[in-house]
Amino acid sequence: MRKIIAQLFVSVDGVMEAPEDWHFPYYDDQMGEVVAEQFHQADTLLLGRATYEVFAASWPQRGDEVPLAKRINAMPKLVASTTLDTVHWHNSTLIVGDVATELTKLKEGPGDNITISGSPTLVRSLLRENVLDELQLLVHPIVLGHGGRLFADDGRRTPLRLVDSVTFGTGVLHLTYRPADDS
């Protein structure tokens, strides 16, 4: 069975917004290998609307000399959005209907993992619906003090189980969680 795995850049205070403004000083070969591995173990990229729009505006213009550009541009992309009517980036499909139901069906079919990059609203919703199989956080050693956070202050509890942790030379923590009720 396929797994849906989210891999997210986040600050110590939980901010995900605008990683292009704070993430790159911590990006090294070790992180590059982890990010590349995530994309090479998946055959589908799942994105929320906002992340899709950012990716669709930037990745098609990147040449094959940019790591992962060829892979990301070629792989099938699923877009979860209630506001978009169409998607135009090569190999992109808009999920129509209930996202959790459609993804649950997709997970039961053949194929490799489905990876999520960014897309905090989508990640929260898939955690809530028990559809997300794994949450990989690349926690950067910086407190930003403002910006969109991964988890909203909405009183929801979601128990997770830490299954792996690695500290990179830059101080970034690579934390891998699965739902606590997952065996």
User: Would you mind telling me the total number of residues written for the chain in this entry?
Assistant: 183
| CATH fold for domain 4-179 | Dihydrofolate Reductase, subunit A (3.40.430)
Question: pLDDT tens, position by position, for the chain (183 residues)?
Answer: 899 999 999 999 999 988 889 999 999 999 999 999 999 999 999 999 999 999 999 999 998 888 899 999 999 999 999 999 999 999 999 998 899 999 999 999 999 999 999 999 999 999 999 999 999 999 999 999 999 999 877 777 889 999 999 999 999 999 999 999 754
* Of 103, 128, 105, residue with least CA distance to 116: 103
| The model scores a pTM over 0.75 | yes
Domain ranges of the chain: 4-179
Helices (H), the chain: 29-40, 49-58, 69-74, 99-108, 120-128
